[in-house]
Amino acid sequence: MSILSEIPQLMVYGVVEGSIITLGAIGLSLTYSILKFANFAHGDMMALGAFFCLTSLAVLRFLGLEDSPFDPLSFGFNMVAALIIAMALAAATAMILDRFLYRRFRRAGPIILLISSIGSAFILRNVIQFIWGPQPQYYFKAIQISQKVPGLGVRIKPDEFFIVGIAGVLVIFLHFFLTRTKTGKAMRATADNMDLAKVSGIDTERIILWTWAIGTALAAAGGVLAGIENKFITPQLGWHMLLSIFAAVILGGIGNPYGAMAGGMIIALSGEISTAFLSTAYKPAVAFIIMVAVLIVRPTGLFGNK
């Protein structure tokens, strides 16, 4: 089999992976643009979301809620409920973290925030490990077999439609939130110029909390979807994706959620397609090299305008 004939299948993997990276990247891009710092704990928030979902599933099962899988999918209503609970819990965690930690550094500048976020990344990852343990955990036991798509020569698992679909729905929600609601517009204004937003009467502290909540909820969703796609979750889940997510954000232009989306897709597709030529172990390296290349050629990113 030639290398080229593998490419359609790799592109399918790329789109699925890209949906997950996009969810992480949008959240990171939002906090980056409003709080002006690179949040290194973002990946670990994804992992936290994935583990919140695991516990929510267990609680729902414990409460005796019926769970019959939606027909072609390997999970049912409980998974959707657990996903939403996990997003809410992760958002709450981020807001608490901001109140008790990050808020103290608002005047100290972006680098202190950055260092502090590296600290919270290690704290979060190890709190996860402390509570849930380092071994891989599973949302469900069933192993799904991928189905052949007639005419395209690729195999897709039904769950993967769900992953791409959920990511799509969340992105559309975010789009309407940012363009149609007052809070969303205030968020964009704050990202553009915080002082100007303040003098025009926007409560920027409230906007910052909203940003943490939305960005982290999206990250948590990304973590859960990564767990569905990989079939297991570990405390390292988010850290392993962090470089790709940063690459996606920088590629798309910091502060541009639509750019983050495009960046996520480009990074994931090029990572997957590179596996036709390179060892899979170097997939993260491909994302990184693209990122450095973009930083040199066009530091504002493909869609950035600042």
Residues that bind other proteins (CB under 8 A): 37-38, 40, 101, 104-105, 108, 110-112, 114-116, 118-120, 122-123, 125-127, 129-130, 133-134, 243, 246, 250, 279, 281-282, 284-285, 288, 291-292, 295-296, 299
| Closest to other proteins by CB, 167 or 249 | 249
CB of residue 157 vs other proteins: minimum separation in angstroms? Answer: 28
Backbone angles phi, psi at 297, to 5 degrees: -75, -45
Q: Taking the complex as a whole, how short is the minimal distance between the CB of residue 13 and other proteins, in angstroms?
A: 20
Dmax over CA atoms of the chain, in Å, equals 64
Residue with tokens 């297991």: 232
Q: Are 243 and 286 in contact (CB under 8 A)?
A: no
176 and 170 in contact (C-beta within 8 Å)?
Answer: no
Q: Nearest distance from residue 229's CB to other proteins, in Å?
A: 21
Nearer to other proteins, 184 or 271 (CB): 271
Of 12 and 291, CB closest to other proteins: 291
Taking CA atoms, 224 is separated from 21, 112, 169, 291, in Å, by 12, 30, 15, 25
DSSP 21-67: HHHHHHHHHHHHHHH-S--TTHHHHHHHHHHHHHHHHHHHHHTT---
Residue number, 128 or 202, with CB nearest to other proteins = 128
Of 170 and 286, nearer to other proteins (C-beta) is 286
Q: Are 304 and 294 in contact (CB under 8 A)?
A: no
The pair of structure tokens assigned to 265 is: 């897709």
Nearest distance from C-beta of residue 267 to other proteins, angstroms: 12
Kindly state the smallest distance separating residue 296's Cβ from other proteins, in Å. Answer: 5
User: What's the CA gap between 13 and 306, in Å, rounded?
Assistant: 33
Tell the smallest beta-carbon distance from residue 30 to other proteins (Å).
16
Nearest of 97, 108, 117, 255 to residue 190 by alpha carbon: 255
Choice between 63 and 297, CB closer to other proteins:
297
